[in-house]
Amino acid sequence: MRYSTYQSIFPMNLENMQETQKKGMKGFIQMIANTLLLKLLILVIVVWIAGAGVLTVFAAPSVSKLEVTKLTVQPGDTLWQIAVKHKPERMDTRVYIEGIVRINGLEDRGVQAGQVLKLPRF
């Protein structure tokens, strides 16, 4: 018989082979668990963001089209000045400005002299 330096890459011992399979299964199961946890975390974040968006939409002040007053913008007037003069006493000026922007469909916050604005009533 000739001498060979060949060594098999497969374990010859049945016990070693079974231990290797167990370690592989544990690693595989742990990898699946980590993947599921990651997917669950992403799902929770997406649902949370969507829920916050829905709450923001429903929490925004609703302005009825019937409850408005019309105002002609004078030279030098700004939305802030108009809001301060016409908003309810305890209302935040920024909220009233947002109501003006929404009810008039303004794309930017600038107004021009002669422009007719609808002012919401809250």
Q: Looking at beta carbons, which pairs linking 60-67 to residues 24 or more positions away fall under 8 Å?
A: 60/98, 61/95, 61/98, 61/99, 61/120, 61/122, 63/99, 63/102, 63/103, 63/120, 63/122, 64/120, 65/103, 67/120, 67/121
User: Could you tell me if 79 and 109 are in contact, meaning their C-beta atoms sit under 8 angstroms apart?
Assistant: yes
pTM score, whole prediction: 0.46
**Segment 83-118, tens digit of pLDDT:** 999 999 999 999 999 999 999 989 888 899 999 999
pLDDT at site 37: 87
pLDDT > 90: what percent of the chain? 39
Angle between helices 79-86 and 93-104 (to 10 degrees): 110
How, if at all, do strands 68-72 and 116-120 pair? Answer: antiparallel
d(CA 81, CA 83): 5
